[in-house]
Structure 1
Amino acid sequence: MTAETSGELRDFYENPETPVSVAQDRAARIVAFLREIVAVEKGPLTILDVGCGDGGLTRQAADAAPGHRVAGMDWAMTPLRAARGRGLAVVRGGAVHPGIPIASGSVDVVIFSEVVEHLVDPDTALLEMYRILRPGGHLLMSTPNLAAWFNRGMLAFGRQPVFSEVSMARVFGRPGRSVAGHLRLFTLVALREFLQEYGFTGLVARGATYHDVPGPLKPIDRLFRAWPSAAAILTVHARKPAAG
């Protein structure tokens, strides 16, 4: 990532109009994974929400894991101020450059929700997640699904898939008006292979709904949630091997 590119992206995410909040259904899936981890792991755990935005998910994680150490991290100060206003411990830093300002092997759970699709260099970010996690540590991710049931229909009719973007200025070729800055999109197969490439194992995937699906289609979206490879949103739990 060049300095110019980094500056452009930072300015984009400092813009108050850029979405920095996580939708509730995908947040609920991440929190459910976290509750399962807390129920079996001996504490206190160190839980870091990388790319925490305004801290909405971080706050839910802290509420779901009382007695554990929970903090949020983001590279943009505007959402970090909002996260701090929720009473959260926060740190400023990026997942790629200059790297996460956390010691290697010092984190038990990394939450990486709705971030990877925004990155120029997702490979370095995954290496950083792996580095800071302790052996046996947990990675909780969510990201839009390129192969979502409605995207399959969009492509069949020659339309741009939902979640994909060709411009940072406005939306072209698909429904919606909000530019979120998506640079990478994954299918479940691609996400699984991507995580395995960087050493993560034991991937468990669950689907989540998309909050902007039109009202009449929401029941269909909820049904597809049970089929992760065609669900609107992918949420996954993977682990760094205990052997490190």
Structure 2
Amino acid sequence: MTTAPAKPRELRDFYEDPAVPVASGTPRSLRQARMLATALGTRPAQTILDIGCGDGTAAATAAPLLPGHHLVGVDWSQDALRRARTRIPCAVRGELTGGGLPFGSGSVDAVLFSEVVEHLVDPDAAMDEIRRVLRPGGHLMLSTPNLAAWYNRALLLAGIQPVFSEVSLRAIHGRPGHEVVGHLRLYTARALREFVAAAGFTVVRLEGAPFHGVPRPLRPLDRLACRRPSLASILLLHARKT
């Protein structure tokens, strides 16, 4: 007996699926929160958006390191927002298109943008919308997987599809790993710097972070690679609106 092929899903349906992972790693969330806390300094009661907050885990992890600030989760997945509201006080629906974020121009002090840009069809429009809501000098904390991670360089030399890259929303093909997470765009450290600068931001700092999916015997090497962001698994970028 044969079964009919799975019906293609719209991208929106894919991200509304509760089975699709919507949270980044806790260590990365803590590291970003520390970077942001340092950048914000002592100014009280600033508004911080966690755009693409998913289930709210990252925002809840960051909140203790950002006391006194108003942290708001933003996502367009209704399922993710329902889960986020169990973890953080405020989570609202918004989209990264022109005027799609429910905030006034220049009304936000900082944006956490954790492993979202690689999922976007139109990252340029997303950066325009983030820039719109940020005040002059406002902070952007962006993280994304590194296409040129140390192991991806080796995989490509061997003719193997790089980790983090995907050719289908239905299954993994030609690369290590088991989860389909919907990555559409991937960046190297150089490409990310140029992309963010072209969007009207000044890059302040770029760091590397490890990836929890690296096999345990290789994790010391993955942590060592963080010393050179161009080789790290994850790119952590701090920029300011110019």
Same fold by TM-score greater than 0.5: yes
Question: Which letter maps to 2:24?
Answer: V
Q: Specify the SS of the correspondent of 2:74.
A: strand
Q: Specify the SS of the correspondent of 1:127.
A: helix
> Offset of 1:97 from its aligned partner?
6.3
> Offset of 1:60 from its aligned partner?
2.0
> Offset of 1:29 from its aligned partner?
2.0
Partners of 1:25 and 1:226 lie apart in 2 by 16
Maintained 8 Å contact 1:55/1:88:
no
> Offset of 1:41 from its aligned partner?
4.4
Give the aligned partner of residue 178 of structure 1: 179
CA deviations over 1:170-209 (Å, ceiling 9, x no partner): 0000011100000000001000000110110033011110
Asked if 1:42 is matched to 2:43, the reply is yes
CA deviations over 1:137-193 (Å, ceiling 9, x no partner): 000000000000000000010000000000000000001110000000000100000
> Offset of 1:24 from its aligned partner?
2.0
Matches within 5 A, 1:9-88: 9-38=11-40, 40-88=41-89
Partners of 2:99 and 2:19 lie apart in 1 by 26
Runs of 4+ in 1 over 6 A off after TM superposition: none
Partners of 2:130 and 2:98 lie apart in 1 by 13
Q: Give the TM-score normalised by the residue count of structure 1.
A: 0.93
Matches within 5 A, 1:54-203: 54-96=55-97, 99-203=100-204
Partners of 2:100 and 2:42 lie apart in 1 by 27
Maintained 8 Å contact 1:29/1:206:
no
Partners of 1:121 and 1:202 lie apart in 2 by 21
Give the aligned partner of residue 236 of structure 1: 237
Maintained 8 Å contact 1:151/1:162:
yes
Partners of 2:82 and 2:217 lie apart in 1 by 37
Maintained 8 Å contact 1:192/1:203:
no
Partners of 1:10 and 1:97 lie apart in 2 by 18
* Aligned-residue identity in percent: 54
Maintained 8 Å contact 1:73/1:91:
yes
Partners of 2:199 and 2:42 lie apart in 1 by 24
Maintained 8 Å contact 2:51/2:111:
yes
Question: Which letter maps to 1:31?
Answer: A
Maintained 8 Å contact 1:200/1:240:
yes
CA deviations over 1:24-55 (Å, ceiling 9, x no partner): 232122112122023x2412100000000001
Q: Give the TM-score normalised by the residue count of structure 2.
A: 0.94
CA RMSD of aligned residues (A): 1.3
For structure 2, the residue ranges without an aligned partner over 5 or more in a row are 1-8
Give the aligned partner of residue 4 of structure 2: none
Maintained 8 Å contact 1:10/1:75:
no
Q: Specify the SS of the correspondent of 1:230.
A: coil
Partners of 2:98 and 2:169 lie apart in 1 by 21
Maintained 8 Å contact 1:52/1:72:
yes
> Offset of 1:98 from its aligned partner?
5.9
Partners of 2:42 and 2:177 lie apart in 1 by 42
Partners of 1:119 and 1:134 lie apart in 2 by 23
